[in-house]
Chains A and B, each alone.
Chain A
Amino acid sequence: MLLNIAWRNIWRNKRRSLVVLSSVVVGVAAILVIDGLNNGMLNQMLYNQISSSVSHLQIHKSGYNDNKVIQSFIPESDKVEYKLQNTAGIEAYSKRVKAFGLVSSAYNSSGVYITGVIASDEKRVSNIADMMVEGSYLTDKKDEIIISKKMAEKLNVKLGSKIVVMASTLDGSPGQQLFKVTGIFETYSSTFDKSNIYIGLPDAQKLLEVGDEIYEFAVIAKNHEQIELLDSSIESGLDDRYEVLNYKVLLPMMIMQIQLTKESMMILNMIIGLALIFGIINTMLMSVFERIREFGVLMAIGLKSGRLFRMVVTEALILGIIGTIAGIAAGYLFTLPFVHYGFDFSVFAESLKSFGVGAKIYPAVSFENTISVAIMIPIIAVLGAIYPAYKAVKLQPVYAIRHV
């Protein structure tokens, strides 16, 4: 019956209740939309990094990731490859030769990361082939090079242009080779585009004079959620001459950013919660002050303080629960179309590209944050009602009954 009274009391002043409900709905929906955009952006950044170059797992010679020297090629790479071929949970892998070098045209030059790949294998672990804006991806023919649009602009070259790639060879002497630009790509990351070029694996091995050696196995897992399992499964079959690093280790800044974003969402939740709590305190105080006489009567006929307290708090709790449910529904309804079509942030395209994100962000509201909001807002509503409820129970029935 107290619940019934609390419910009816809420609707005594419909306008006031609707105003406070609207603030809760807008607050909750805003939290979810912002969370969705943040997650969407981070997911894209992560996905773009993984699918363009990092992959889910990388295997190197031990210590390579910290000190990428040309001498650190993978020892007995065929054994590693055999292990990969016989490990469950691997979708694809690609062998890479990587080095730092210089690319020069007749007009300009630029420092770059040179990646030598087998085109057919690399296509299965990287989406660079899908990012071609001119020409085509590598075809495993000799002397082919693909560069980014930004690099092409910098070097002032176009499809078919000849450019020279230089790098230090295994014995320390300078190596150089002439390549023909056969493709120009453009990824979502301007930073990546500024500093990466791709050539065929044999060309890279020839340029660096490393024979058949390779420096990296890039692995795509069937289920990246269980990457740690795959990581340890591969690692268990290899000795300490190798390092097996998953993307969480390879992208520490990215992972830290995801963590920071989660924490900043908690702060945002708290700020919005704090704003809501004052609205709820105000509404409940007004509601209590309007009913002083009624509370006096209730106490006179035997309603104990605890029950009166619960009644006031229940009203706020109901408001909080309704507002939260409606807010979650509004947040999801607003976000839903953009999950498929994306928020178009073309105006900020250049800035977003510097973060490795496309102009369209596909929001992804996290279930975890939804649950956290669904718990937090009703608690905030209850907290907001504590002071008004305290004021109610502190009333003296004898005076409250006479209140006009």
Chain B
Amino acid sequence: MSIIRTEKLEKIYQDNGVPVHALRGIDLEIKKGEYTVIAGPSGSGKTTLLNVLGALDKPTKGNVWFEDQNLADKKKAELSDFRLKKLGFIFQAYNLIPVLTALENIEFSMMLLGKSEKERHEKAMALMEELEIAELAKKRPNEMSGGQQQRVAVARAIVNNPEIVMADEPTANLDTKTGGNLLDLMEKMNAEKNITFIFSSHDQQVISRAKRLLYLRDGLIEKDS
């Protein structure tokens, strides 16, 4: 059964009054627990597709179905709620909140869900131990390496047990070894927790480890393997 599905998905941007067709009618179905990489050259529409799938952007035409809910029908606040409860995000530039420690960054998403301080603390610490980053708990982002920050970002993305984690170029700012370790971690989370991962990347290391590869070109899926 698909967890997320698109129908004739189109996204047209206006660039100085000139329409740019970023997505040209994508039909896609991703099943629960899949580990999918969206690849393609720059401007192929992979980040746009990830943003639309992640309810960060609305399609110009077509629909995005999450289970039986059409995301295109949802209002801004409903989409926020949806992202909070169902999705996790990992960004290229880590994007941790600089004024919070690693532990607090992880707790933040749980705070938004209204979890108690005790529950937040216990769960975040347990996850940090599982991801072997417990020693970073009291460090702020500027005191951590890129790899450490991205591991904290992974913890933040999965702490609310999301259905899908969207990772936009998660290894782009990391060296090969650190990127590899991060991918090991996400594969482990995928295998052990059955979390669906959708990547957007042109990093060969990520592409080579994809269980499903969607290759985009000019806003269309050229290859799905």
Contacts and interface: CB of A to CB of B under 8 A. Distances in A.
Interface of A: 1-2, 4-5, 8-9, 12, 293-294, 297-305, 307, 396-398, 401
Interface stretch (B93-101, B171-179, B193-201, B205-213): B93-101
Interface string B74-88: 001100110111001
Interface stretch (B2-10, B26-34, B60-68, B103-111): B103-111
Interface string B27-56: 000000000000000000000000100101
A47 to B, nearest CB: 54
A294 B56 contact: no
Contact of A5 (B51, B97, B156): B97
Max chain B CB contacts within 10 Å: which of A5, A297, A396?
Answer: A297
Contacts of A301: 83-84, 88-89, 108-109, 112, 156
B77 A304 contact: yes
Given A300-B83, A302-B84, A401-B95, A1 B108 contact: yes
Contact of B56 (A9, A304, A397): A397
A229 B200 CA distance: 82
B94 to A, nearest CB: 9
13 contacts: A1-B108, A1-B111, A294-B95, A297-B89, A297-B95, A300-B56, A301-B83, A301-B84, A302-B84, A303-B112, A305-B77, A398-B57, A401-B95
Contacts of B80: 299, 302-305
Given A1-B111, A4-B104, A302-B83, 16 more contacts: A1-B107, A2-B111, A5-B99, A12-B99, A294-B98, A297-B91, A300-B56, A300-B89, A301-B88, A301-B89, A301-B108, A301-B109, A301-B156, A302-B85, A302-B112, A303-B112
**Looking at chain B, what size class is its interface with the partner chain?**
20 to 34
Contact of A294 (B97, B111, B156): B97
A8 B99 contact: yes
Contacts of A307: 112
A302 B81 contact: yes
Nearest to B100: A5
Contacts of B85: 302
Contacts of A2: 111
B208 to A, nearest CB: 27
Contact of A8 (B89, B95, B100, B107): B100
Would you list the 6 A-B pairs with minimal beta carbon distance, nearest first? A302-B84, A8-B99, A297-B95, A398-B56, A398-B57, A304-B80
Contacts of A305: 76-77, 80
B104 A1 contact: yes
A9 B108 contact: no
Contacts of B54: 300
Interface centre among A4, A9, A303 (most CB of B within 10 A): A303
Q: Which of B76, B81, B99, B107 has the most CB of A within 10 A?
A: B99
A300 B54 CA distance: 9
A399 to B, nearest CB: 9
Contacts of B98: 12, 294
Interface centre among A8, A299, A302 (most CB of B within 10 A): A302
B152 to A, nearest CB: 13
Nearest to B168: A401
A8 B99 CA distance: 6
Interface string B103-143: 01001110110000000000000000000000000000000
A347 B97 CA distance: 58
Contacts of B109: 301-302
Given A304-B80, A305-B76, A397-B56, A298 B111 contact: no
B91 A401 contact: yes
Nearest to B88: A301
B185 to A, nearest CB: 19
B107 to A, nearest CB: 7
A192 B104 CA distance: 71
A109 to B, nearest CB: 81
A305 B107 CA distance: 19
A248 B116 CA distance: 60
Contacts of A397: 56
Contacts of A297: 89, 91, 95, 97
Nearest to A12: B99
A307 B111 CA distance: 12
Contacts of A294: 95, 97-98
A318 to B, nearest CB: 13
A298 B83 CA distance: 11
B106 to A, nearest CB: 11
B64 to A, nearest CB: 14
A397 B95 CA distance: 13
A398 B95 contact: no
B81, B88, B95, B156 pick with most chain A CB within 10 angstroms: B95
Contacts of B107: 1
A133 B56 CA distance: 85
A305 to B, nearest CB: 7
Contacts of B51: 398
Interface in B166-195: none
A2 B104 CA distance: 11
A8 B88 CA distance: 25
Interface string B139-175: 0000000000000000010000000000000000000
Contact of A298 (B56, B77, B81, B97): B97
Contacts of A5: 97, 99-100
